[in-house]
Amino acid sequence: MASSFSFSFSFSSGFIAILGFLSVLFLQIQPSHSLTCSSQQLSGNRLYDHCNDLPQLSSYLHWTYNSTKSYLKIAFLAPAKTDGWVAWAINPTGLTMLGCQALIAYQVDGKMTVKTFNVDSYQSIAPSKIAYDVWYKEAEYSDGMMRIYATIALPSTMTTINQVWQVGSSVSDGIPVAHAFQASNLNARGTLDLSKGESSSTTGGDDKLNKRNIHGILNAVSWGILFPVGVIFARYLRTFPSADPAWFYLHLSCQCSAYVIGVAGWATGLKLGSESAGVEYSTHRNIGITLFCFATLQIFALFLRPKKDHKYRIFWNVYHHSIGYLIVILGIINVFKGLQILDPAQEWKRAYVIVLIVLGAIALLLEAITWTVVLKRKSSKTT
């Protein structure tokens, strides 16, 4: 039985290695950008006075400003899937998506179209009239690039505009679905000096992206890994007398650590929510609140645990085990919900799936060993 006890410590060492591997989720791959704006050929031999290689999303803006008649002609180009969308917008109030007067191009019934959107909410958008007259608009798709052509009437006093551009992966029921939240998406914004013919950008989205990454890592480690590992310690190691009381302290340390880390992740989520007015992920948020409440109940239940021979101990066991397994299930579900929202590179999602497969395989192996030991003990007692 001593070997079983040493196995528990080797398993915990392997778990630490898994945590180190998962920490690479902090890294985000930045897309490469090729400066090809000046060499692009536009359909209809369209020509513009200025051409800017936008610093995010491999996008480009060709534009001409007529100061006499106060209008702006633009050609916006960005790579997109056939069922995706691209957007270019003017925000008269700031460098955020909220408040944008947007032109969004996507396919409707197999044909490219461009529609105007007044983005006054993050929860839902619909085609609508915007603050500026659009005299002309057209959309094209070829060679993996979507193009928006438009002529926009501007106030004569507007010589500098806040521009925001974006790329999305899908359209549902004729409405663009929310874009990803990688650094390139959050930083796709800047200013356009119409009088000087200059374009500049900002990278202020990095801080929010880092907070998202921290929130994701803390919750993945807490609810998605530590809690399941703590359950494995409690369920299987206590079968072996030589692992008592080590299994209890391993279980307790895992679950308490998971709770502390989970509370930190929950707090970062609240902070992100307060800084992102109008952005709501109801299912992810509600599961997170439920996890926090259940985990808090588990911590308090520790102080109310009856002794082994107490008549109410069986009811406490049923409660403790049921809530524990529920936390594991909801935690894993919410980690995948978070990955869907954060939308990291596919290899990070696969990495978490591999971690779950490894934990599942260990649990199945220990389940078989445990039942073998239990059945042998019953057989010996019967004899």
* Each residue's pLDDT tens digit, 296-314: 988 888 888 888 778 888 8
| 278 compared with 317, residue with greater pLDDT | 317
- DSSP letter at 49? S
State the pLDDT at residue 280: 64
pLDDT at residue 241 is higher than 90: no
- Rounded CA-CA distance 60/46 in Å is 15
Q: In this model, does residue 85 exceed pLDDT 90?
A: yes
**Residue 136: pLDDT band with limits 50, 70, 90:** very high
| The three-state (H, E, C) secondary structure of 66-101, written as one string | ECCCCEEEEEEEEECCCCCEEEEEECCCCCCCCCCE
Residue 278 binned pLDDT confidence (cut-offs 50, 70, 90) = low
Burial class (CB in 10 A: 0-12, 13-18, 19+), 245: exposed
Q: At what angle do helices 227-236 and 346-382 cross, to 10 degrees?
A: 10
Split at pLDDT 50, 70, 90, the class of 71 is very high
Q: State both tokens at 23.
A: 């920490």
| 215, two tokens | 């929130």
Q: Using one digit for the tens of pLDDT, what is the confidence trace for 34-58? A: 446 767 888 888 888 888 888 888 8
State the distance between the two ends of the chain, measured CA to CA, in whole angstroms.
22
Find out whether 355 and 336 touch, Cβ atoms under 8 Å. no
| Mean pLDDT value of segment 191-205 | 69
For residue 4, the model assigns a pLDDT of: 43
11 has a pLDDT exceeding 50? no
Mean pLDDT of the chain: 81
Query: What is the tens place of the pLDDT at every residue in 91-128?
Result: 988 888 888 999 999 998 889 999 999 988 766 788 88
Cβ neighbours of 35 (radius 10 Å): 8
User: Matching CATH topology for 2-27+207-382 and 37-204?
Assistant: no
Q: Which CATH code is given to the segment(s) 2-27+207-382?
A: 1.20.120.1770
For a pLDDT cut of 90, what percent of the chain falls above it? Answer: 21
- What average pLDDT does range 178-200 have in this prediction? 81
- Please give the CATH topology (third level) of the domain spanning 37-204: Immunoglobulin-like (2.60.40)
Tokens of 132: 């500026």
Domain boundary assignment for the chain: 2-27+207-382, 37-204
Is residue 59 a contact partner of residue 184, using CB atoms and an 8 Å limit? no
Would you say residue 25 has pLDDT above 70? no
Tell me which H or E stretch contains 323.
Answer: helix 313-342
Tell me which residue of 331, 339, 340, 334 sits closest to 359, measured CA to CA.
331
